[in-house]
Each structure stands twice: as C-alpha cells, then as structure tokens.
Amino acid sequence: MIAIAGAKGGCGKTTTTLGLARAFDRAGRLSFVIDADQQLPNLHVAADIDREPTVATVEENNDAAAIAQPLPGATKAGVLPAPLDSEMVDLADLLDRFSTSAGEALVDCPAGAGPDVAGPIDAADRVVVVTTGTERSLTSAGKTIDLAKRQGTPVAGVVLNQSEQLPIGFRARFDVPLLGRVPPFQSAERDRQAREAYDHIAAELLSNRNRPSAPARRHPDIRLPTGLAPVDRELQGGFLRVVSSRSAPNRGAGPNCCCTLSRGNAGPSISPSGGPGKTFVRP
C-alpha cells in the first residue's frame, strides 16, 4: 500500500494518485485508488465516477475488486471513494486490513499533517510525497516526510509536480529520493510528457518494491492536537498517540482511549476513562 501525501493543499496529490494508477495500468498492473480524505473528498470528482459505492463497503463485503468502480481510460484500475458521513467506519483500521495481494493500493491522503493523515500513513507500506516547486509547498513536503519518519513508514521518495525544472537546492533539502518531475499539463491522459513522467515514477516504485525491505518499524510517538489551545499547551502539543503495532485493530480515541476530554464551566479538562487503550496523555 502506497500513501500519496503532501501537507500543502493543492500540490497535486489526487492528480498524482490517478496518474500513477493509469501508469500501473499501462504496465499491466492491477491497482486500487482509495480516497482517504473524509473531510473534503474529491477523488471521485477528479476520476469522473459516482460517489458510491465507497471504500466503507469493502469492510462489509471484503471484495475490493467487485466494489471498485473502473477508472475511465484504464482497464486494470479501480476507484474507491471516501466513506460518506453516514457510514460509521474507522478508515485507518480499514486501511490496515486492506488486502493488497491482488495489486497496488494507492491511498490519496488529505492535506495537512494531523491525525487524518497519520492514520493512512501508518497503514501504508510506503509514502510518496507530492510537492510543487514553491517554497511553501517544499516546506510542507518536509513536514510530511518528518511525519512519515516519526510513524516509521518508509518514504519511497518525492514527486515534484507541475515543475519545469528542479528548484535550487532541492536534492540537498531532502534526504529521500526524487522519484520524478511532472511538467505542467492540461490533461495527464492526453499529454505525452506527463504520461512518460508517471510511467517513470511507477517503474521506480515497482523497482523499489523488489529491493531489500526497510528496517523494522518502531512505535509511532506523535502528538495529536486537540484543537484547544490551552489543552495543547498543557500537553506540549496534544495527546501522545502510541500504537503498539501496525496490526492494532483499533486506533485513536474511543473505547481504546484511557482519557477523555470534556468542557465545563472552568474550561476544558482531561480525565482518565479507565480504558486499556493505546492512546494516552503524557505531560
């Protein structure tokens, strides 16, 4: 499973995800494209498919090939839109159990570097970081790389999107490979240079897959902001999220959380809930 991530919104994660799916298709590889952005899902719009069925249906039937909608212009690529608000599903848990034995799974991650991104990155085997050549996007890419490293997920490399040339100091800035540079284009399906760029990146990913595996993953140790400034300051950034293993069936707050956050007349407070979970507060 490959997470396509990038903290900067609009850097081209969705376009890259679909471009790689079509490149795998041209290489004769089956792939599934999954939208992990539950807040602003738009993969189905970019792919020009229906909003349903969603990836949540896979949890019920456990047959991605039968549920995924065909990606237009491809014969071996299926698309699974993000869950609807009405579908109560733990997306991170679902991704952790998603079988990739039949082909490549490409997860289109949301923007940012918070818990919504941490879940898909933790479930993935590798991360591809997408950025444009702007200073703001490059800085955000660095944050995404740092997040993946804290989670223990190998970074396959960086895709430099919509760029005519390599920014000055690019290679010295990142300690991960440059998978490829995608030039500006109007349509990846019709632009020859864009197709060639995605074909090159897909070939790099397939080649890297056959190399020796990365060292064993260490336990993630990251702070998850609560969104409440006083609480985040007290917790030095937020709740400390500790996952005992990648196969843990439950994540985040809920029945496996040993603390609860509540509001009262005196402001927000944190109290133990007695749960056995993997997420806890360490001042």
**Residues 59-83: pLDDT tens digits?**
666 678 888 999 999 999 999 999 9
For 232-271, what is each residue's pLDDT tens digit?
Answer: 666 666 666 544 344 443 444 443 344 444 444 444 444 4
**Does the pLDDT value for residue 275 go beyond 60?**
no
Among 114, 124, 90, 117, residue whose Cα is nearest residue 246: 124
Tell me, what's the pLDDT at 224?
A: 67
Q: What is the mean pLDDT of residues 128-152?
A: 95
Q: Residue 264 belongs to what H/E stretch?
A: strand 259-264
Provide the pLDDT confidence category of residue 88 given band limits of 50, 70 and 90: confident
pLDDT of residue 233: 64
Residue 266 CB burial class (10 angstroms; 0-12, 13-18, ≥19): exposed
pLDDT at residue 95 in the model: 86
How much is the average pLDDT of 48-60?
A: 89
CB 113 within 8 A of CB 7: yes
Mean pLDDT of the chain: 80
Q: Residue 215 — very low, low, confident or very high, per pLDDT cuts 50/70/90?
A: very low
| 3 state SS of 219 | coil
Closest CA to 27 of 235, 196, 146: 196
Higher pLDDT, 223 or 167: 167
Do residues 28 and 177 make contact, with C-beta atoms less than 8 angstroms apart?
no
Q: Do residues 125 and 156 touch, judged by C-beta distance below 8 A?
A: no
pTM to 2 decimal places: 0.75
